[in-house]
Amino acid sequence: MDSDVSPDYECPKCGAIYAKVEAFQERQKYKMESFDVYAAFTKLRHWGAICKLNNVNLNSFSTQKELEELSKYLEPEEVVFALASGIMAQTSTSNSFDFGLNTWLAVLTSDRFLFLDAALFTRSIDTQSIRHDKVQAVSASQGWMFGKIMIDLGSRVITIDNCEKETVKVFADLANKWLKALEHKRRSIAYGERRLPKEESAIDKLERLAQLHKNGVLSDAEFKEVKDKLLGSLSSNI
C-alpha cells in the first residue's frame, strides 16, 4: 500500500483513526531531523556548527564577507539547514565592480533558497532568493574535484558550479527532503479542510426535515415541533 494518506480512503472499522496514524507516520518520515538544533545554531550564527552537523566542511575563504553578513538577511525565525559556495553567472542586480562569473554563498533555509554575493572592493552585497513553492526539484552532480547544484524552477534551472564536492549532495538531499515535507504539510492541511463538515444552512435543514416527513420518518407532530424550533432560532438570529 502507498504510504501516503489517501484523502478518499477511510478504514471501514476504525474510520478516521487509520488516517491519523498514517498521517503521523508520514510526518515522522519527512520531518527534518535536528530541526531544533539547526534553529539554535542559526540564532547563534554558528555556521560552522551547521556544516559540522551535516558532516561537511565549508571553505569560507571566498565567501567570508557573505558569511559575516548572512544573519542580517535572514527573516525572523528563519532556520538555516545547509550552506554551499560556488560560481553563478551575473544577474541584472550583480555588483557592478564584479566581472564575469561570481562566487556566491548558497543557503538553504526553512523559508527559501538564499544567495549572497559580496562585492570585491566595496561592502555592498547582492542578494537573490527563491521561495520553496517555486522549486520543483534540486539535484547535485559531483565531478573529479568539484560539484554543482541545480535548482529546477520548471521554466529554467539555476546552477551553482565549482562547489566543494562534499557539500553539493548534502545540500540537494536536505533541500529535497524539506520540499517533500512542505508538500506533505500542504496536502495534510488540504485533506483536513476537505474532511471538515460543512455547516448546514437553515434552508438545508428545513429541506431535510421535509424529506424525512415525506418519507414517514417524522410524524406530523414531530415535523411541526422541529420546524417551529428551527424557524424560531432562525428568526432570533435575524
Domains and their CATH numbers in the chain: 31-133+164-195 (2.30.29), 202-236 (no CATH)
84 pLDDT band (50/70/90 cuts)?
very high
- Helix (H) / strand (E) element for 81: namely strand 80-88
Encode pLDDT of 146-174 as tens digits.
Answer: 999 999 999 999 999 999 999 999 999 99
218 pLDDT band (50/70/90 cuts)?
confident
Whole-model pTM: value is: 0.66
Encode pLDDT of 110-135 as tens digits.
Answer: 999 999 999 877 778 999 999 999 99
Structure confidence at residue 234 (pLDDT): 65
Q: Considering Cα of 214, then 216, then 220, then 226, what sign does the dihedral take? A: negative
Structure confidence at residue 90 (pLDDT): 58
Instruction: Tell me the mean pLDDT in the region 96-118.
Output: 84
Q: Which residue from 148, 152, 149, 159 is spatially nearest to 135, judged by alpha carbons?
A: 152
**Which is higher by pLDDT, 17 or 82?**
82
Cβ contact 115:104 at 8 Å:
yes
Residue 200 has what DSSP assignment?
P
Q: Is 108 left (phi over 0), alpha (psi -120 to 50) or beta?
A: beta
Residue 140 CA to its chain's centroid (Å): 20
Pairing of strands 125-131, 102-109: unpaired
* Measured distance CA(159)–CA(100) in Å, rounded: 15
- Helix (H) / strand (E) element for 102: namely strand 102-109
Q: Considering Cα of 105, then 106, then 108, then 112, what sign does the dihedral take? A: positive
The pair phi, psi for residue 186, each rounded to 5°, is -60, -45
Kindly state the cell numbers that stand for 131.
Answer: 521561495
